[in-house]
Structure 1
Amino acid sequence: MADFNFIPSDSSIFILTGIPGLETAHIWISIPFCTVYIMALLGNFTVLFVVGKEKSLHKPMYLLLCMLALTDITTSTSFMPKALCIFWFNLKSITVKGCLTQMFLFHALSNVHSAILVTMAFDRYVAICNPLRYATILSNARIAKLGLVCLVIAVFFLLPLPLLLSRQPFCANRIIPHKYCDHNAVANMSCGDITVSRVYGLVIAFIFIVCDVTLIGLSYGLIIRAVLRISSKKANNKALNTCSAHIWLILMSYPLRLFSSLTDRFGQGIAPHVHVILSNVTYLIPPMLNPIIYGVKIKELCDKVAKNICRIHSPHTTEFKPA
């Protein structure tokens, strides 16, 4: 396919190359990426549908799962449709405003996702350490307010990133070696002084990751202390089992994000296509696996999903008896 819009002729656009060095293989590379993206959408929409339909699941824990599913859908959708347009149709151009908007949405939604994982850790702490007051401490209305607070905080702290870059002069060579508008990649397009933007981005990333991991660690430290005080082994196993799905989500999300962030900023010796692929794996694999993990680990949700699938595949039929 002809590379018909690779050279920018308009000062108001950027060019996204896709995966640098592997442009000729974009069609083949798109197959696993598209498959993972579709599976992520199906899994997370299934969770939203089942929890919304089943009144018995209208509880704080499942409301948090819906929030997590919603952030998984929106985060991956903030960059995958454009990436598939690059892979399939070679549509590499994106306006500067569109690029900055995509960058803001991607980073803000990623941080909302992280904040929801922190809220889920607090939910597990209350459920295990203070079960008698769980219903009064964490009502559905309070969980909704916490979710709104997470969104407001993410927007407030991430909005300066595109605003700082929008004031920068961009160079003539506006080719971004990525398949979406990452903050570092866009900052490198500037011909001005980007020290403030770089430092702010690094500080915000550090603060969010450190604060979130610290709060999650504190919650699980208190949970472990409470579990060790329980004399019954069966009760111990039951308490820990309620946290297993959340622990898996944490182990999938934070190590990948931290490693991707560090290699993106300090891994100058790593090939560009490795940076891009690693970044996409970080933000595509967890959204695909999250519904599977908490669908398998949480029996009540698994049963409701199975029941709804059976309803779809085995609709009621009317028997006609001869007169």
Structure 2
Amino acid sequence: MNSSVSAPPVTFTIYGSFALSKFALVVCILVLYLSGLCVSLFLVLVVCVESRLHRPMYFLLAHLALSGVMGSSSVCPIITRHLLASRQQVSLRQCLTQVFFSNVYGGCVFCILALMAFDRYVSICKPLLYHSIMTPARVKLMLAAVYFTLSSSSAVQVYLTSRLSLCRHTVDKLFCDSLVISELSCEKTAVISVFGLVCAVCVIVLPCFLVILSYVHIFTVVLKTSKESRRKALQTCTPHLVTFINFSAASFFGFIYNRVSHQVPPAVNILTFMNFFVIPPLLHPIIYGIKMREIRQSMNRMIKGKTIRL
């Protein structure tokens, strides 16, 4: 079987549907993308600079923000370029690179949210053991395992996909994903389908199950405490719950859309893309910045410090 990496470029045909609104879409995408980039990087800077935030929860939050930067940066610049260009083409190698980073991005968000849920579980349900369980070294090890596992599984999936022989080279979507390339292939292979299913279970279903399990234990313990303790626990968990629900809904919507994309208007393509790659990297840091008092105070202190120096 010949490697499909040397195949002709992939052409995206859907962009012709946005002829009258391309400029507005470019402005909207760039504003939201750059805003998300600035907000995420500012949050990472705050966590790195403020010593009071050098704790597992905030360390994980910084990595959640960085994963959002990776996800949006893997898709937004190329979509913006396609909206401005007369021809919308990428090489298959570029397409596969996009698949790799978008897969890692989705898996990273779910896995980091699972680690954050575990952190909240230990903090609320086992407070006396928190510092012995959630040590900095252990948190770094868990993150390293997440990155290694996701990078390896995504690399294997991209490699298997790259070995497919393609019969078509036109795509009616905004960007590349594994399903897009599989639909272009001349053949359907069970190996890729099974491997993709196993990856989805490991990086999406399992983390979601761990988040739900953690919160079942958390609420079981919290409901037995005082009203003030319940208020503090809910205040701590609300940003994480909102983030988890938001990203899970976006992922579910994207999954459904991939299966019925030929039956919906092209505008839904834009909504799906923005709902998964653009809105979360902007929304999640804002949610934590507003809801978590220590982050809000640290941000205000940094901003005021910069203003005074200027």
Q: Given the two structures, how large is their TM-score scaled by the length of structure 2? A: 0.92
Are 1:274 and 2:268 matched, yes or no?
A: yes
User: For 1:187 and 1:14, how far apart are their aligned partners in 2?
Assistant: 13
Match of 2:47 in 1: 51
1:56-84: CA deviation from partner (whole Å, max 9, x where unpaired): 11111110011101101011101111111
CA positional deviation for 1:89? 3.4
Work out which of the residue numbers 229, 236, 241 in structure 2 matches 1:242: 236
More helix by share: 2
Provide the rounded CA distance (Å) in 2 between the counterparts of 1:276 and 1:183.
18
Q: How far off is 1:170 after superposition? A: 1.4
Matches within 5 A, 1:25-64: 25-64=21-60
Separation of aligned partners in 2, 1:55 and 1:296: 20
2:73 equivalent to 1:77: yes
Contact 1:18 1:179 (8 Å CA) reproduced: yes
Q: Separation in 2 of the partners of 1:128 and 1:27? A: 49
Q: Does 2:254 align with 1:260?
A: yes
Distance 1:273 1:197, change over 3 A: farther
Cα 1:281–1:44 change in 2 (3 A) is same
Query: Deviation digits for residues 197-247 of structure 1, max 9, x if unmatched?
Result: 3443344324432211111010000000110121x2111111121101101
Distance verdict in 2 for CA 1:34–1:65, change over 3 Å: same
1:208-227 residue pairs with structure 2 within 5 A? 208-227=203-222
1:298 aligns with 2:284: no
Structure-2 residue corresponding to 1:164: 160
The AA in structure 2 aligned to 1:300 is E
Change (3 A) 1:283 1:251: same
Structure 1 segments unaligned to the other structure (5+ residues)? 1-9, 317-323
- The amino acid of 2:178's aligned partner reads H
- 1:276 and 1:25 mapped to 2: Cα distance? 12
Q: Distance in 2 between matches of 1:18 and 1:124?
A: 43
Match of 2:3 in 1: none
SS in 1 for 2:26: helix
User: What stretches of structure 2 of length at least 5 have no aligned partner?
Assistant: 1-5
- Asked if 1:141 corresponds to 2:137, the answer is yes
**Which SS does the other structure have where 2:184 is aligned?**
coil
Identity %: 29
Residues 101 and 267 from structure 1, CA distance in 2 versus in 1: closer, same or farther, beyond 3 angstroms? Answer: closer
Q: Give the length in aligned residue pairs.
A: 305
Q: Determine which structure has greater relative contact order: mean sequence separation of CA pairs < 8 Å that are 6+ residues apart, divided by chain length.
A: 2
- For 2:178 and 2:211, the matched residues in 1 are separated by 26
SS of match in other structure, 1:15: strand
Query: TM-score with structure 1 length normalisation?
Result: 0.88
Change in 2 beyond 3 A, CA 1:18/1:142: farther
Cα 1:46–1:271 shift into 2, 3 Å: same
Cα displacement (A) at 1:309: 0.8
Q: 2:90 aligns to what SS in structure 1? A: strand
User: For the Cα contact (< 8 Å) 1:20–1:272, is it kept in 2?
Assistant: no
User: Counterpart of 1:191 in 2: which secondary structure?
Assistant: coil
Pairs within 5 Å for 1:184-223: 184-223=179-218
Question: CA contact under 8 A between 2:75 and 2:277: conserved in structure 1?
Answer: no
Q: Is the contact made by 1:50 and 1:305 (CA closer than 8 Å) also made in structure 2?
A: yes
Distance of 2:173 and 2:305 partners within structure 1: 43
Contact 1:18 1:83 in 2 (8 A): no
Task: Assess if the C-alpha contact under 8 Å between 1:44 and 1:69 holds in 2.
Answer: yes
Moved more, 270-279 or 73-82: 270-279
> How much is the aligned-residue C-alpha RMSD, in angstroms?
1.9
Whole-Å separation in 1 of the counterparts to 2:207 and 2:38: 28
Q: Does 1:103 align with 2:99?
A: yes
Alignment of 1:302-317 (within 5 A): 302-315=296-309
- Residue of structure 2 equivalent to 1:183: 178
Offset, 1:92: 2.2
- Is the CA contact (8 Å cut-off) linking 1:20 and 1:273 kept in structure 2? no
> For the residues of structure 2 that align with 1:273 and 1:49, how far apart are their CA atoms?
36
CA distance, structure 2, for counterparts of residue 250 and residue 17 of structure 1: 33
SS in 2 for 1:314: helix
